[in-house]
Amino acid sequence: MCWKTLLLLLLCYNAQASVPHRWSRAVLFPAAHRPKRSSSLALNPVLQRSLEEVELLYEFLLAELEISPDLEISIKDEELASLRKASDFHTVCNDVIPKRIPDIRRLSASLSSHPGVLKKEDFERTALTLAYAAYRTALSQGHQKDIWAQSLLSLFQALRHDLIRSSGSRVSP
């Protein structure tokens, strides 16, 4: 009887280990793969597909952003806000990245146990979450500032760790 249990556990372990990782794609940012009924925007939007789009994202972040009391992020510059890529930026910032401390802690925990290098869109979303956490840290005071600062630090460490891993994988002979 004991050997049957051991065999069953071994089979379950092998079955679990052989499940393709594509099923766990949405683990870090589940909202990116969950369509909203009220939105006609693309599922899983990505901001950086070319160098020009990277520069545009940088402009969005340098432009004055406004965060409303209900945590809605918008670009104050009307010219930048009217660009097509600004709607993707709005979607990612308002519907995909986490904005509450428990959600950011969950993301940090997932990042710390994430195998391999992050996909481009996951890195992008983590960097935007980092920028949001920096903004909230700057606005907070007292104990709240310490909590946001800890979240900021954990996101920074996760991104740094990913950059180190990605540069190490390219150096191999």
pTM: 0.75
**Residue 112 pLDDT grade (very low, low, confident, very high; cuts 50, 70, 90):** confident
Helix (H/G/I), strand (E/B), else coil: 75: strand
Query: What's the pLDDT score for residue 113?
Result: 85
Q: How does 51-86 read in b/e, with b if 16+ C-beta sit within 10 Å?
A: eeeeebbeebeeeebebeeeeebebeeeebeeeebb
Per residue in 45-79, pLDDT (tens digit) is 777 788 888 888 888 888 888 888 888 999 999 99
Rg (CA), the chain: 19
* % of the chain exceeding 90 in pLDDT: 33
Helix (H/G/I), strand (E/B), else coil: 84: helix
Query: What's the pLDDT score for residue 132?
Result: 92
Amino acid (one-letter) located at 133: A
**Residue 9 pLDDT grade (very low, low, confident, very high; cuts 50, 70, 90):** low
Distance CA(157)–CA(150), nearest Å, equals: 11
